[in-house]
Amino acid sequence: MAGRLSGKAAIVFGAGSSGPGWGNGKAAAVAYAREGAQVACVDLDQAAADETASIIEREGGLAVPIAADVTGIASIEQAVAQSVAQFGRIDILHNNVGVTHMGGPVELSEEQFAAALDLNIGPVYRTAKAVIPHMLQQGGGAIVNISSLAAIRWTGYPYFAYYATKAAVNQATVALAMQYARQGIRANCIMPGLIDTPLIYRQISGQYASVEEMVAARNAAVPLGRMGTAWDVANAAVFLASDEARFITGVCLPVDGGQSCAVSEFH
């Protein structure tokens, strides 16, 4: 498949979807493939990885589904080795794993806080540890980490651990960008705002009286008048991973319909 990423190989961690429809990781994996990349679709759930890879293959792309646990370095190293064995290189590392636990420091258990650290910032460290040596050997690559608007502002939800760990993703991305700039590795992150994905119906909807109320409130909070979609995030990821962004590194890019620019109602 010809496109902006022709000849490149991508590994997408969190390439499945948490429910029916399009999550950010699933859309990113397919978007990379549609631009010509070969894609390793990595997810904790083998069936979810299989589904994303199957979509890519049905569209004429090349994909390999891999089951891996991003909380373990051995599992990540095995996934990276399998990807390299399949494609011969890794040009794009995409991190899309995360979890939200509602509650401030008083309400959160130590186990929940530790899990947030392990699942939100831990994979950025572990995947970089496993992938960067390959990028250094081949002379460069692009890292795209999915952060959140919660990294830089209060979003109205009481999830202390999520704010803290997503802020860490931003600065970890900057650190990677600066340390490896002279070796040809670019690192950027995307900060999605209010995005309509399967995840919100599982982890966010409990903050509202009904799903309908959640959707209406989230749409109303965005200056453009609607939530974004997983494709809005995926399209930004494709640009940052492509050679069109070859002079862009260390950037934390809001994809939020203008929400980061607005002074919204405090709730």
Give Cβ neighbours of residue 233 (< 8 Å, ≥ 6 apart).
24, 27, 28, 146, 190, 192, 195, 255
Instruction: Write the single-letter amino acid at 193.
Output: G
Count the alpha carbons within 13 Å of 102 in the hemisphere toward its beta carbon: 10
* Burial grade of 212 (CB within 10 A; 0-12, 13-18, 19 or more): exposed
Query: In the structure encoding, which two tokens stand for residue 54, read together?
Result: 């199957």
Q: Which of 32, 159, 162, 163 is catalytic?
A: 162
The label of the residue with tokens 């390999």 reads: 64
Is 162 catalytic? The answer is yes
Q: How far apart are CA 147 and CA 42, in angstroms?
A: 18
Q: Where are the alpha helices (DSSP H) in the chain?
A: 24-34, 46-58, 73-87, 110-116, 122-138, 160-180, 198-203, 211-221, 230-241
Looking at the DSSP bridge assignments, the partners of residue 185 are 141
- Catalytic machinery residues: 162
